[in-house]
Amino acid sequence: MNLFRSVLGISAILLLNALLTCCGSKSGKETGTEVQNADSASYIRISDSSKIEPDWSKENTIVYHTLAEPDVLHPTNGTSAIRSEIYQYTQMSLVRFDFQTLQIAPALLESMPTLNESGTAYDCKLRKDARWDDGTPITTADVVFTAMASKCPATDNPAAKPYWDNLLQIVPDPADPLQFRVEMKTPYIHNIIFWADWPIMQAGFFDPAKVLSKFNFTQFNDSLFDASTHPELTKWATEFNSSKYGREPQFLAGCGMYQVSEWDPGISVSLTKKKNHWTANSTSIYETAFPEKIIYKVNKDPNSQLLEFKAQTMDGTNNIPTKALRELQTDSNFNRNYHSRFTDSFNYTYIGMNNRPDGITHKKLFTDKKVRRAMALLTPVDELNRVINKGLNKRMIGPVSRLKKDFDASLQPIPYDIEQAKKLLADAGWKDTDGDQILDKEIDGVKTPFEFTISYMTNTPDWKDYATILAEAYSKAGMKINFNPLDFSVFVANNKNHDFDMIIFSLKPNSITV
C-alpha cells in the first residue's frame, strides 16, 4: 500500500497551522520516511513496505477519509476543498503547483508560458500527447471554451468570477491548434498561477452545438452585457448549470487519470482508474496512477474515525483531530499498520469576521479596522495551541506560509494584549454606557451591544474547544459571545451568503496527493 499524503494550500487571516497526518503500510510512526527539505518538510517520501502483513487488504484500492463530500463536482460551479482534491485525479489544468519544488510547473502545457514585455500577454502551447477520453486531442478550442464558460454571465459560479475578471481574451494561433496567446487586462502576480485552479473542459462534450463560439470575450467583459436577452445562451447555461454536470458520474467528464464511478451521497465518492490513459508512460509523480480505485469516505465522528483506523477500514487521512491522532499513536497495532506524523502544511485555521453584515440579523460590529485589530489582540493564539493542540501547531504570521522561500522571518506576531485591545475599542466608540458589563455603541441610530455569535462546523471537535476559549478571552473586554455549531453544508452556505458574525474555518482550495 502506498502512502497518501495531502498537502493543502490556502491564504487566510490568522491563527494556527493545521494538522497533517500521513498513513501508509510500513510499521512505525517515523520509520521508512525520508523528509525532503527537512527544515520546512515540504514533502515526505515513504519507502514501500518490505513485506505484506497477513491482515492487510490485497485489493488495490485506497480508502481515504474525508469530513465531508464535495458540494458538487461541476467544472466551474463549486467551492469545496474536497472538490479541488478530487480534481487532482479527474481533471487537469494548464499549469499546476509543484509541491516538491514549491514552484509553478506546466501540466497540460508543454512548457511554462512565455511572458511578453508588457507583462500582460503569455504565449502558450499545449502538449501534443494530451487527449480526451474519446481519443481526440486537447486543443486551444477547449481552452477558449473553458475561459468563455467561466466568464459567461449566465454561468452559476459567482465565487470564481473575480478570478476571471482580469482575463481580456485568448487568441488562437490560426496555424497551430495547440498554440495560443493569453492576454490579461493588467499585470498581476497571479496571472499564471490562477490557471492551476481551473480544469480545462472539453468543448465538444459541454457545448456540442457550439453556442459559446457565437459570442466573444468583448461581450463577456462588458458589465452591461445581458445574457437573458440571448435565448440560445440562456438555454445552454441552464443545461450547463444543471445538477447532472455536478453529480451524475457519466457527466463528470475530465482528462485526468481517474473517472468518478460512483457517488453515494453523504457516504463516499469513488474514483476508478482509466484504462490506457494518455499519461501511462509519464514519469511525473502527478501523472502516476497506482491504485485501481480511490474511495473518498465521509466520516464526521471522531470516535468512529478512531475505530475505523484501528480496524484498518480506512487507509489515510489529513482530517483527524490532534487529540485523536495522539491517542492512535499509543496503539502498537496502529503503528504497525500506518505511518503517521505531525508535519508542516500550507493550510491553517483562521478567524473570519463579517465585514459585509446586513445590519439587521448581523450587526456592524467588525466593519471598523480598529475593532478587527482589537479582536486580534484579544485572541490567545498561543493558549489555543498549548491547550488544544498540545503545542504541536505553528503560528502563522500573515498570509504567506513560512514554508515559502519569500517568507519574511522578521515579522512579529500580534501579541495577546487585553489593555491595548480595550483602548482600540474605546477609540472606535465602544463603551459600557449602562453598566451591564457589555460594551455598546450607537450604530445607525440604534444602541447596539457588542454581542455576536461564533459559527463553526460540528464535525471538527477542536473548533468547539477553540470557540469556548475565544469566548472567555473576548468576554474579558466586555463582549457577549454565543455559539452556533453547524453541519458542513449549512456552514459553507452561510459563509457564502455572509450569514455569520464570526467563523472559525480552515480553507483548502488547492490540494495534491502523492
Q: Angle between the 418-427 and 369-378 helix axes, to the nearest 10 degrees?
A: 160
Structural element, H or E, at residue 373? helix 369-378
pLDDT-above-90 percentage for the chain: 66
Residue 392 main-chain phi, psi, to 5 deg: -80, -25
Q: Which three cell numbers stand for residue 451?
A: 454581542
Distance CA(317)–CA(32), nearest Å, equals 19
Instruction: Choose the weakest-confidence range: 8-22, 419-433, 439-453.
Output: 8-22
Q: Which three cell numbers stand for residue 214?
A: 457565437
Distance CA(26)–CA(339), nearest Å, equals 6
Of the candidates 151, 319, 356, 295, the one whose C-alpha atom is nearest the C-alpha of residue 237 is 151
Distance CA(11)–CA(376), nearest Å, equals 17
Q: Which residues of 438-477 are buried (b: 16+ CB within 10 A; e: fewer)?
A: bbbbeeeeeebbbebebbbbebbbbbbbbbeebeebbeeb
- The answer to whether residue 102 scores a pLDDT higher than 90 is no
In this structure, whether the domain defined by 100-244 belongs to CATH 3.90.76.10 is answered with yes
Distance CA(493)–CA(498), nearest Å, equals 9
Tell me the per-residue pLDDT of 159-195, one tens digit each, with 9 for 90 and over.
Answer: 899 999 999 999 999 999 999 999 999 999 889 998 9
Helices and strands, number each (H, E), in the chain: 15, 20
Residue with cell 463549486: 78
Q: Which residue has the higher pLDDT, 376 or 80?
A: 376
Mean pLDDT, residues 285-297 taken together: 93
pLDDT confidence of residue 147: 98
pLDDT confidence of residue 23: 32
The domain locations on the chain are 6-12+19-70+250-337, 100-244, 350-513
Tell me the per-residue pLDDT of 105-124, one tens digit each, with 9 for 90 and over.
Answer: 999 999 999 998 888 999 99
* Mean pLDDT, all residues of the chain: 87
Q: Please report which residue ranges of 32-152 form alpha helices under DSSP H.
A: 81-90, 140-151
Torsion on CA atoms 65, 71, 72, 76, rounded to nearest 10: -120
One fold for 6-12+19-70+250-337 and 350-513 = no
pLDDT confidence of residue 11: 22
For residue 443, list its beta bridge partners: 446
- Using CB atoms within 10 Å of the CB of residue 489, give its burial: 0 to 12 exposed, 13 to 18 middle, 19+ buried: middle
- The answer to whether residue 267 scores a pLDDT higher than 90 is yes
- The answer to whether residue 398 scores a pLDDT higher than 90 is no
In this structure, whether the domain defined by 6-12+19-70+250-337 belongs to CATH 3.40.190.10 is answered with yes
Report which DSSP code applies to 73: -
Tell me the per-residue pLDDT of 198-207, one tens digit each, with 9 for 90 and over.
Answer: 999 999 999 9
Distance (Å) of CA 141 to CA 64, 101, 134, 176: 35, 31, 16, 11
Q: Looking at the domain covering 350-513, what would its CATH class be?
A: alpha beta
- The answer to whether residue 437 scores a pLDDT higher than 90 is yes
Distance CA(484)–CA(469), nearest Å, equals 15
Tell me the per-residue pLDDT of 242-262, one tens digit each, with 9 for 90 and over.
Answer: 999 999 999 999 999 999 999
CA angle 166, 168, 170 (to 5 degrees): 125
Kindly report the pTM of this predicted structure.
0.81
Q: CB 111: neighbour CB atoms within 10 A? A: 10
* CA neighbours closer than 13 Å in the CB half-sphere of residue 133: 19
